[in-house]
């Protein structure tokens, strides 16, 4: 889930060298080199680039999103029959709704998609914003539909899309690939049944140390190998290898702040939610956020709605399919564009969070513009309609209401357990610590309303030692949050230390707060490093690394947040 910070000069250098690896991000979404989103509260009036044909083109635009009667629109596709009468927007929704729920490589359930080439593939390893971008960009590339995203570099608008990376005049930006000139497109030469064409250079690409796709199922039932990363997955996904190279750039360069930008997606009313829409969470103007594409949306009697979502994470992982009960809590949260004020003083409703839909690129006077389609105007909520945005989590409270308090309780507990499992994989993850505490807030609420339980009673019943060890930290004041390459072995060492610490306190007849896993004593982690050495496992402890741009890298001690300061012994 979470942030990428753009370093334009470095990005241009990296790309000109052949799209080198970018550092992975903290847990949830986004990575390091990112084009910035607009800082204006009203972001939806940005114009697009002039239409030009250049050797930077990634794929040709042969179809419009509104087409229903052209020869291409009448053909059968991955989730629709011949002569369906559907627009491509509706087909995109059908495609997302057709995903299967299957076992992920490590834990939980992930998505299985169908491609136009008769292949089924399980979800790639992505951060959360990249999951939403990957879905939209992939469908656009397959069916030669227009696609682009807008960002800022050095105060100037820059566009990544079907035309490559261009400026407002439609000219390729220096330092970025001329995709059409450099990379192959096999769409017109490959025939079903033939060996799948491969680009060895693309296949070797990585977007970070955390992008391993080993074990992920791809075409023909094969699985990717140890050492394979994002490039290997995209090589299996696209006949047009240019699209794979573009996705590597999008992965590195865009995050939740860009999806919260009205230039790329627009707000919609809660009852309009459909598969393919995107729920964005923002709790600060700059920095991390969270993104969850909608997988299913079913209207039920009594004006109710049931939705499920999928999410990537930081460090990267296969998309995790979030069940309906778990997904509902995200839509109801203030971070989803609701009422209240963030720690940096920004109103949540002005940060771009909430349920959103992709804008549609359309040609207007020779210029590409990302527009709100006419058929979506009735459900469109403008950026300036702050009250309309802020009221949506309250509307979701009614729309997504659980049938019983037991269901609410079980939903919160399932989310807590999901976060705990993630922390056993990546113990430095601040996003998962925050996810767990958000679920505890929901648990406190239902247990108070329905069962008369106090917070202390809930904690006594449901908290575990690890919740205190992996205490919630303030992201912008904690260097641990930038450390994405912690491992399950390190989690074992941290919890082994905590267990021995508690055993010693129990033997002495005292209750003491366990040592939280964070940097201290000058930004160090010596407590656990020494413990690993005492067990003969020093080789399993990794040194801290700046796995994403980390302004807080020099903190002397991480800051425990208000919820992280929960006293175990009260």
Token pair, residue 345, equals: 């003083």
Neighbours of 43 (CB within 10 A): 18
Task: Choose among 108, 105, 140: nearest CA to 224.
Answer: 105
Q: What is the largest CA-CA distance in the chain?
A: 79
Token pair, residue 499, equals: 């267990």
Q: What is the pLDDT along the chain (570 residues), one digit of tens a residue?
A: 333 433 332 233 233 222 222 222 333 333 334 677 665 555 566 789 999 999 999 999 999 999 999 999 999 999 999 999 999 999 999 999 999 999 999 878 999 999 999 999 999 999 889 999 999 999 999 999 999 999 888 878 899 999 999 999 999 999 999 999 999 999 999 999 899 999 999 999 999 888 999 999 997 789 999 999 999 999 999 999 999 999 999 999 998 999 999 999 999 999 999 999 999 999 888 777 899 999 999 988 778 899 999 999 877 899 999 888 889 889 999 999 999 998 788 999 999 999 999 999 999 999 999 999 999 999 999 999 999 999 999 999 999 977 688 988 988 898 899 899 989 999 999 988 988 998 899 899 999 999 999 999 999 999 999 999 999 999 889 999 989 889 999 999 999 999 999 999 999 999 999 999 999 988 899 999 999 999 999 999 999 999 877 889 999 999 998 888 888 987
d(CA 259, CA 273): 16
Exposure letters 84-123 (e unless 16+ CB within 10 A, then b): bebbbbbbbbbbbbebebeebbeebbbbbbbbeeebebbb
SS3 369: strand
- The conformation of residue 140, written as its DSSP 8-state character, comes to H
What pLDDT is recorded for position 29? 33
What pLDDT is recorded for position 27? 33
**What angle, rounded to 10 degrees, do the helices at 455-462 and 430-451 form?**
120
What pLDDT is recorded for position 278? 98
> What residues pair up with 110 in beta bridges, in sequence order?
102
Contact 360, 377 (CB under 8 A): no
Token pair, residue 548, equals: 């994403």
For the chain, give every domain's residue range. Answer: 8-70+87-259, 265-358+376-402, 410-540
Separation in Å, CA 344 to CA 338, 473, 565: 15, 16, 20
> Which residues have CB under 8 Å from 245's CB, separation 6+?
19, 58, 177, 179, 182, 183, 202, 205, 234
Tokens 């039932």 -> residue? 221
Asked whether the bond before 38 is cis by omega within 30 degrees of 0, the reply is: no
Pairing of strands 109-114, 120-122: antiparallel
What pLDDT is recorded for position 494? 98
- Rg for the chain (alpha carbons), in Å? 23
SS3 520: strand
d(CA 55, CA 50): 15
The angle subtended at Cα 92 by Cα 87 and Cα 93, nearest 5°, is 100
In this prediction the pTM is 0.81
Token pair, residue 428, equals: 């430095």
Q: State the DSSP string of 537-567.
A: -GGGPPPP---S--TTTT-SSPPBPTTTT--
């Amino acid at each position: 889930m979470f942030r990428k910070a753009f370093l334009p000069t470095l990005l241009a250098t990296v790309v000109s060298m052949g799209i080198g690896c970018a550092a992975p991000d903290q847990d949830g979404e986004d990575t390091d080199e990112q084009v910035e989103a607009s800082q204006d509260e009203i972001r939806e009036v940005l114009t697009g680039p002039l239409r030009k044909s250049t050797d930077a083109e990634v794929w040709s635009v042969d179809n419009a999103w509104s087409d229903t009667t052209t020869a291409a629109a009448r053909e059968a596709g991955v989730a629709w029959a011949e002569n369906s009468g559907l627009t491509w927007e509706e087909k995109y929704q059908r495609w997302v709704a057709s995903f299967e729920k299957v076992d992920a490589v490590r834990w939980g359930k992930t998505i299985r998609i169908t491609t136009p080439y008769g292949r089924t593939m399980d979800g790639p390893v992505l951060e959360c914003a990249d999951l939403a971008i990957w879905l939209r960009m992939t469908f656009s590339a397959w069916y030669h539909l227009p696609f682009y995203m807008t960002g800022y570099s050095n105060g100037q608008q820059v566009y990544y899309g079907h035309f490559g990376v261009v400026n407002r005049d439609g000219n390729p930006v220096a330092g970025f690939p001329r995709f059409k000139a450099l990379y192959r497109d096999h769409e017109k030469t490959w025939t079903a049944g033939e060996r799948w064409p491969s680009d060895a250079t693309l296949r070797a690409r990585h977007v970070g140390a955390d992008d391993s796709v080993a074990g992920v199922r791809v075409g023909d039932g094969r699985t990717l190998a140890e050492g394979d990363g994002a490039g290997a997955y995209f090589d299996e996904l696209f006949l047009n290898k240019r699209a794979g190279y573009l996705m590597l750039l999008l992965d590195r360069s865009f995050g939740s702040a860009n999806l919260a930008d009205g230039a790329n997606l627009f707000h919609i009313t809660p009852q309009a939610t459909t598969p393919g829409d995107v729920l964005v969470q923002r709790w600060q103007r700059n920095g991390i956020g969270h993104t969850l594409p909608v997988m299913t949306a079913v209207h039920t009697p009594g004006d109710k709605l049931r939705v499920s979502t999928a999410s990537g994470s930081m460090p990267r992982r296969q998309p995790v399919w979030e069940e309906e009960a778990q997904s509902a809590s995200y839509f109801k949260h203030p971070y989803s564009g609701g009422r209240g004020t963030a720690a940096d003083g920004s109103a949540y409703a002005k940060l771009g969070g909430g349920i959103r839909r992709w804008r549609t690129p359309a040609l207007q006077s020779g210029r590409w513009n990302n527009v709100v389609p006419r058929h979506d105007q009735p459900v469109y909520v403008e950026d300036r309609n702050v009250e309309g945005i802020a009221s949506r989590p309250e509307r979701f409270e009614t729309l997504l209401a659980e049938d019983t308090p037991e269901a609410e309780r079980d939903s919160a507990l399932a989310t807590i357990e999901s976060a705990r499992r993630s922390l056993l994989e990546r113990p430095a993850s601040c996003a998962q610590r925050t996810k767990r505490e958000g679920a505890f807030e929901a648990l406190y609420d239902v247990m108070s309303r329905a069962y008369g339980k106090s917070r202390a009673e809930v904690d006594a019943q449901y908290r575990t030692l690890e919740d205190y060890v992996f205490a919630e930290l303030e992201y912008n004041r904690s260097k641990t949050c930038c450390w994405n390459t912690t491992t399950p072995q390190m989690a074992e060492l941290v919890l082994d230390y905590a267990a021995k610490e508690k055993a010693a306190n129990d033997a002495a007849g005292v209750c003491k707060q366990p040592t939280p896993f964070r940097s201290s004593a000058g930004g160090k982690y010596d407590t656990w490093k020494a413990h690993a050495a005492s067990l003969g496992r020093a080789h399993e402890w990794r040194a801290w690394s700046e796995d994403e741009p980390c302004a807080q890298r020099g903190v002397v001690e991480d800051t425990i947040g208000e919820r992280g300061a929960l006293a175990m012994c009260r």
